[in-house]
Chain A
Amino acid sequence: MASITIEGVAKRFGDVRALAELDLTVADGEFLALLGPSGCGKTTLLRIIAGLESQTSGRVLIGARDVSALPPRKRGLAMVFQNYAVFPHLTVYENVAFGLRMAKADKARIAAQVEKAAMLLHIEALLKRHPAQLSGGQRQRVAVARALAVEPAVLLMDEPLSNLDALLRLEMRAELKAVLAGAGTTTIYVTHDQTEAMGLADRIAVMHAGRIEQIGTPSDIYDRPATRFVGGFVGSPPMNFLELPVRDGKVDLGGFALPSPPGAGQKVLLGLRGEDVALSGPGEDGFTFTLKVAELLGPQILLTGTAAGGQPLRIVLAAAGPLPSLTPGSDISLKPDPARLRWMNEAGQALETRS
């Protein structure tokens, strides 16, 4: 087990800057997700940690060791690849045993470790088969078993579930969580799927265009996004952002007044999640939401429309609760949950709230 420290790591590919200077620390035993859209640099960062790419500047430390110049095999880590990278010419047993064989472990230890990993991943019955005879999900298990068998100090995972179909992904996610919790290995997990990150990670680092926008626990990220990007990326439907004018210490939300947050300028950005609004009762103050489309999504209804001067807004109401008129074009009066407002300046940076 070891911690991972990244100091000032940057990466250029010719003229293209893939990673700005990044600093990041992953505690011993922690599960950190690198979350972001494709092209944000998360995989590049992971590969730099693995030693598969070399950084343009900066250092990588595993535990107290500076591994920046070491090849992958000398860094004491294991990796699960997106396309599994299970060796086709070896049996499942030989695949899982591979790392141990390269480390010249003795036969008894190899057998014990392979058996342990196989049991954890429920592939004991497949040990004699070749990867070509396995399904995608089974190959994925082999890849994970191979990584766990070497009991690495650090485990790296590069979108391991993205090639599985949706149902399998859900099952594997739960299994992975159980298996990894048991092992307690320091893990970095790259994904573009925010539900995966939210479900698996102790902390999430949200990345965008080569920078880390925010690092925090899943609830930090969800409830208190630091930037507009983070708010918009995490959560489904994405967080809404309304540009609202500030006058005399009050924010004008389509006629509904809200106390202005500290540090607000002439305009302010209100981050509001679709589920954090409610219908205003009779006689209650509210702002007008003009409905365009209503979609029934099982237990919820997604309403898409405009508010506060024609700005797009998406809200979510419980299908079983009281519902307004759902005719397109109708006006609905809504009130926001004051505890769940996320204020940002015009640049998309969060403003600290009073409390």
Chain B
Amino acid sequence: MRESRALPYLLIAPSVIFLVGLFLIPLAQTAVLAFQENGGWGLGNVRRMADDLNFHDALANTFKVVLLAVPLQLALALGMTMMLRKVQRGRDLLVWVWSIPLGISDLAAGLVWLAILTDQGWLNSVLFQIGLISQPRAWLTYETPAALLAAIVVAEIWRATAIVFVILLAGVQLLPKEYEEAAEVFGATPWQRFTRITVPLLKPSIQTALILRTVLAFEMFAMALALGGRNFPVLVSEAFNAQYFSQDYGVAAAYAVLVMVISVAATLLYLVALRTPAEQRS
């Protein structure tokens, strides 16, 4: 049809304007703000951020959670995906149940595990009733940093594995069964089939899932606050404090830039490490 050549551009224009105005520009503004000092350029904000009492803890905590939770989630999600392949009846129901955490806010997830792990919560109730403890034990205080870390990691795994799971599931649906069947005919065990055929074929989905999950993990905020409060600072909660309570916009921006840089670095890492060269693509 003869139409204005500009039609496609007109159609994407609103979203482009929107994303430029509310994403690219604030992005640039954050970057600029982070490195401004007294009307000029400077690393003052970055220094103040690094000198902050909680900075090292926040950095360490964030990385600890990411490095512990993400690999475990990947493993768990892979397991769930493989298990799902064997289920025929009730498949839809199972997918729904296992994806429920997708709809749950990280704050709500934090509250859920708070209910379980709080002093008079359900975990202690169970431990008490099976006789392991005689009175409520605190799991979430600053005196038990390892338990607190474990609690947060477990809660994160509970909440966010569904994200990885759903992406892997979508990827697995696209895999033709012939490859694995061929491997089976040639004598590969289930484990060999899994590691040598399925997982490599799933690389693109794994890459996508890992990028998404890792970026989200570095943004962790409400979960840490709900379970740890001030005992478990993370990068984003410190950014929040700087912005909202200290009104120190510069430091908040510095934190934001730090998180962005880490996210981009992680994304690039995944893109390179899990790259599927063109020849290997089907």
Q: Do A and B bind each other?
A: yes
A residues near B, CB below 8 A?
Answer: 51-52, 54, 69, 71-72
Q: Does A69 lie within 8 Å of B2, measured CB to CB?
A: yes
User: Which residue from chain B places its CB closest to the CB of A72 in the assembled complex?
Assistant: B1
| A72 CB contacts on chain B under 8 angstroms | 1
| A51 CB contacts on chain B under 8 angstroms | 1-2
B 1-26 contacts with A by CB, 8 A: 1-2
A-B contacts, CB under 8 A, total: 9
6 more A-B residue pairs beyond the given contacts A51-B2, A54-B2, A72-B1, with a C-beta to C-beta distance below 8 A: A51-B1, A52-B1, A54-B1, A69-B2, A71-B1, A71-B2
Give the Cβ gap from A57 to chain B, nearest Cβ, in Å.
Answer: 14
Give the Cβ gap from A297 to chain B, nearest Cβ, in Å.
Answer: 39
Main secondary structure on A side of the interface with B: loop
In the complex, 9 of the A-B residue pairs with CB atoms within 8 angstroms, ordered by the A residue number, are A51-B1, A51-B2, A52-B1, A54-B1, A54-B2, A69-B2, A71-B1, A71-B2, A72-B1
Give the Cβ gap from B49 to chain A, nearest Cβ, in Å.
Answer: 54
Give the Cβ gap from B110 to chain A, nearest Cβ, in Å.
Answer: 44
| A54 CB contacts on chain B under 8 angstroms | 1-2
Rounded to whole angstroms, the CA-CA distance of A175 and B175 in the bound complex is 45
User: Which residue from chain B places its CB closest to the CB of A69 in the assembled complex?
Assistant: B2
Rounded to whole angstroms, the CA-CA distance of A72 and B1 in the bound complex is 8
Q: Which 5 A-B pairs have the closest CB atoms?
A: A54-B2, A71-B1, A69-B2, A52-B1, A51-B1
User: Which residue from chain A places its CB closest to the CB of B1 in the assembled complex?
Assistant: A71
| B1 CB contacts on chain A under 8 angstroms | 51-52, 54, 71-72
B 58-108 contacts with A by CB, 8 A: none
Rounded to whole angstroms, the CA-CA distance of A54 and B3 in the bound complex is 10
User: Which residue from chain B places its CB closest to the CB of A70 in the assembled complex?
Assistant: B2
| A52 CB contacts on chain B under 8 angstroms | 1
User: Which residue from chain A places its CB closest to the CB of B3 in the assembled complex?
Assistant: A71
Rounded to whole angstroms, the CA-CA distance of A69 and B1 in the bound complex is 9
| B2 CB contacts on chain A under 8 angstroms | 51, 54, 69, 71
Rounded to whole angstroms, the CA-CA distance of A138 and B70 in the bound complex is 55
User: Which residue from chain A places its CB closest to the CB of B2 in the assembled complex?
Assistant: A54
Give the Cβ gap from B2 to chain A, nearest Cβ, in Å.
Answer: 5
User: Which residue from chain B places its CB closest to the CB of A71 in the assembled complex?
Assistant: B1
Rounded to whole angstroms, the CA-CA distance of A71 and B2 in the bound complex is 7
Give the Cβ gap from B38 to chain A, nearest Cβ, in Å.
Answer: 57
